[in-house]
Copies of this chain bind each other. A is one copy, B any other.
């Protein structure tokens, strides 16, 4: 899966909330090679400010060479991107990194928080190609209802069981996504696939260790190149002796391979 650069036309732009939007772009070459958990680097503006590309998970791949990203406005780069219109072209580099690995031996727990839910939809779809919906549980957490209701529908539409919690209680249980994990039966062998804010990931990894579940985490760092060239995306290894690089060794890691600080 060599990385490719493409000026991808925006085919559709959905505004899920005030600050979350979903773009569907025409990027056949990149889409063809993409696997769940991989990401793309997107240029935020034509000028030099902001300078660097921004990383986004591949949210979904659709027939006809379509690729989706789910984008939350954080700062000026995502702000500029969120204003892009259907018909304009996004400068996309990808697919990048190592995605999730999955097989049919496990029960699959997809655990996402906030915008971290983005790569899990693609993952669910791929797992379902060889597995029954009953082998998958989706556990989602968010700050409030509007942040995830569209996504909950998307998972449910695949016939999956989705458990939801929100911090303000506006959808599902009030609480954190780890609260949804605790009461789960100790199905084994199980694989947890998780993506979300760092404190959530750390908590999820803690629960997995308690339950003796294998766990893959998708990590975020600031990135300059996404191509393993700048070495900017370093994360401490589990043995505390040196670093792994999120854009090349990840973004998906076995939870046991990285240090949890």
Contacts and interface: CB of A to CB of B under 8 A. Distances in A.
Residue from A45, A47, A76 having most chain B Cβ neighbours under 10 A: A47
A49 B49 CA distance: 6
A159 interface: no
Oligomeric state, in copies:
2
Interface string A44-63: 01011110000000000000
Nearest to A50: B47
Contacts of A50: 47
Interface in A61-76: 76
Contacts of A49: 47-49
Interface string A141-175: 00000000000000000000000000000000000
A48 B45 CA distance: 12
Contacts of A45: 47
A221 to B, nearest CB: 24
7 contacts: A45-B47, A47-B47, A47-B49, A47-B50, A47-B76, A48-B49, A49-B49
